[in-house]
Structure 1
Amino acid sequence: MARILAFDYGTKRIGIAVTDPLQIIATGLDTIHPKDAIEYIKKYLLNESVEAFVLGDPKQMDGTPSESKQHAKGFATLLKKAFPAIPLHWVDERFTSKMAQQAIMQSGLKKMDRRDKDRVDTIAATIILQYFMETNRL
């Protein structure tokens, strides 16, 4: 089996998570700058097989697209253009950043480590990926 990559897209940072080859466990992989994303993924694909991308779908509380949706759609377009053979799935990302912050708070990390926004983005991507895996099990 191939892995699945998930992205928590932001204009300053993209959190990335990945499954194991059997697609059982979602793990935080990295946080990168959006301008480096396509090159990062190309390098990743040199060593790993990826069967799908999952992208957090930014929505308002009422389910309508948030202001950041246009940026996420732009990133989705770049992914589709650079990797046309890899399907892209959208997952509602409401509350993922809050859930990530709560997970960090409960982890026992020192106060300065809890403020690390890269960590929040990577954990949010992991939550997005875990949700996708749970809702798409055969």
Structure 2
Amino acid sequence: MRLMGMDVGSRTVGISVSDQLGWTAQGVEIVPINEDEEIFGIERVKELVKEYDVVGFVLGLPKNMNNTEGPRVEAARNYGKLLEETFGLPIDFQDERLTTVEAERMLIEQADTSRSKRKKVIDKLAASLILENYLNGHGKLIDRLK
């Protein structure tokens, strides 16, 4: 049993999963979506939920730096609601401020990754950071792993 972390954008969803003990998070893939056309990648998420025996979702909540909520927060909450309705599994949110910035810095400084390569993995890495932060903060869904 694992938790699935998600970095929800308007065009992609970065996906990560925890290990079975809830100690670490690993990036899995980036699922293409299109909010404008109401294509949310749910079929692929279903496959991943089954493959990884997911028991709950942790979505990044992209609050503004002053802690206010903008339109992307609403989009993340709506995606969470869709997941809850589709899978009947619990969801929780993790403040994701600066995770994409941190992910990009890691890719530049530690992996010396080119811009084109960064675009291919940044959402997956951001999803890993979101889930890792959640696990380290002992979020309420961690008990579902036991």
TM-score (norm 1): 0.89
Unaligned runs of 5+ in 1: none
Distance in 2 (CA, whole Å) between partners of 1:15 and 1:110 is 18
Structure 2 residue 140 is matched with structure 1 residue 119: no
Distance in 2 (CA, whole Å) between partners of 1:108 and 1:46 is 32
User: What does 1:91-110 correspond to in 2, within 5 Å?
Assistant: 91-110=94-113
Aligned length: 135
Aligned equivalent of 2:8: 9
Q: What amino acid is aligned across from residue 17 of structure 1 in structure 2? A: S
**Superposed displacement of residue 14, structure 1:** 0.7
Q: What amino acid is aligned across from residue 84 of structure 2 in structure 1? A: K
**Superposed displacement of residue 65, structure 1:** 0.6
Aligned equivalent of 1:42: 46
Poorly superposed stretches of 4+, deviation over 6 Å = none
Distance in 2 (CA, whole Å) between partners of 1:60 and 1:19 is 26
Aligned equivalent of 2:31: 32
Aligned equivalent of 1:83: 87
**Superposed displacement of residue 36, structure 1:** 4.8
Distance in 2 (CA, whole Å) between partners of 1:110 and 1:104 is 5
- Report if the CA contact (8 A) 1:13-1:118 is conserved: no
Aligned equivalent of 1:71: 75
